Amino acid sequence: MTDVLVVAELLEGASRKSTLSAVRFAREVAEATGGAFDILTIGEGAEAAASQLAAFGARKIFTAEIEGGYVAERYAPTVAAVAKDGGHGVVAATATTFGKDLLPRVAGRLGAGVASDIASVSVDGGSLVYRRPMYAGNIFGFARVSTDVQVVTVRQTEFEAADEAGGYTSAEAVAVVEDAAASRVEFVSLEAQKSERPELTEASIVVSGGRALKSAENFKSVLEPLVDVLGAAMGASRAAADAGYASNDLQVGQTGKVVAPKLYVAVGISGAIQHLAGMKGSKVIVAVNKDKEAPIKEVADYFLAGDLFQVVPELVSEIEKAR
C-alpha cells in the first residue's frame, strides 16, 4: 500500500490545470497499490485553491498559506513535513518549472530518491516502476526508487488531466515550517506576460512558427492570424526564439516547453530532434514547409509542401469561410 502526496501548483490564488496530471498519476498509484492520495495546496490563496480540488477524490486536502510569492526554500520544509507526518510513500507534482524547482529540494530534506519527468508508472513485484523518456524522447528508460520515500515529477503530456470523482473533500490547514535558509532568499517580484490566448502547455490547439518566417514582423502578420482564427496558443522553435522572432517563453522543444495538444500546426519548422521531443506526443500534427524532405514530415499526419507566405493566408481565409 502506497499513499501519495500531490503538491498543487498555484497561480494567482488558483490551482493550475497542470496539477490534475499529478492527480491522475496519484490515482493510478493508489489504485494499483491499495493506497490513497492527498493534496497539498501551498502558497498565496491556498485555501481558495483547495476548494477547486475538493471533488477529485483526495482522501485529505492540506492547505498552507504562505504570503509573499513563491520561493522554493520557503515551501520545501512544509511540503517535506506534511509528507513525513502523513507517512506518504510518494510525493508528486507535475514536471513544470514549479515541480522541477521545488521537488528536488523536498527530496533533499526527506533523503528521498527522485524519478523525474516520468511518462508512466506500473507496479512490479510490489514496487513502483517508472518509465521516462531519454535522449530527446528517442528511447525510454525504466527506473525503480529504493528509498522509503520517493519523489516524482510527471510529464503533463503523458498523464491526462484527472476528471472529478464526485464527493467533496474538506480542507485542513497545516502549520508552515520555517527554515533559516529561507530568510536569506528574498522574493522581489514576478513579471508575467498576460495573453488572451490559451496557455501554451494547456492549450488544445498550438500553432508554432520556425526560422523560415524570417522576422518578428512576419510572426505577427502571417502567423498570428492563423493562431487567432483557430483559437490556439502560439509556439515557436528554438531557432525562431534565438533569432528574436518570438519570446523565449513560447519555445517548444527539449529545452523549451513540452506540449501535446489535440492539434499541433508547425509552420516553417524543419523538425530538428530537439523540437520533435517537445511536440511529437500531439494527437494530430500538421506541417507546412516548402522542403518536401523536411524531417518533420516523418511525424506529421498532414504535410503540406509549399511557401508558407502563400499557404498560411489562404488557410486563414478558408477557415474563416468555413466558419
Domains in the chain: boundaries: 4-184, 205-322
> What pLDDT, on a 0 to 100 scale, did the predictor assign at position 179?
87
How much is the pLDDT for 128?
96
Q: What is the CATH number of domain 205-322?
A: 3.40.50.1220
The angle, 0 to 180 degrees and rounded to 10, between the axes of the packed helices 72-86 and 97-110 is 60
Each residue's pLDDT expressed in tens, for the chain with a length of 323 residues: 799 999 999 988 889 999 999 999 999 999 999 999 999 999 999 999 999 999 999 999 999 999 888 999 999 999 999 999 999 999 999 999 999 999 999 999 999 999 999 999 999 988 999 999 888 778 899 999 999 999 999 999 899 999 998 888 999 999 999 888 888 888 888 777 667 888 898 899 999 999 999 999 999 999 999 999 999 999 999 999 999 999 999 999 988 999 999 999 999 999 999 999 899 889 999 999 999 999 999 999 999 999 999 999 999 999 999 88
pLDDT of residue 223: 96
pLDDT at residue 96, rounded to an integer? 92
Which pairs with CB-CB distance under 8 Å and at least 24 residues apart come from 127-136? 128/2, 128/29, 128/33, 128/90, 133/277, 136/254, 136/273, 136/274, 136/276, 136/277
> b/e for 294-307, b at 16 or more Cβ within 10 A?
bbbeebbeebeeee
Q: Which three cell numbers stand for residue 249?
A: 517563453
The set of residues, in sequence order, having a beta carbon less than 8 Å from that of 317 and lying 6+ positions away, is none
Domain 4-184: which CATH number of 3.40.50.10950, 3.40.50.150, 3.40.50.261, 3.40.50.620? 3.40.50.620
pLDDT score, position 125: 87
Domains 4-184 and 205-322 in one fold: yes
Q: Give me Rg for the CA atoms of the chain.
A: 21
Is the distance from CB of 209 to CB of 241 less than 8 angstroms? Answer: no
Please state, in angstroms and rounded to a whole number, the distance separating the CA atoms of residues 241 and 203: 20
Q: How far apart are CA 204 and CA 149, in angstroms?
A: 35
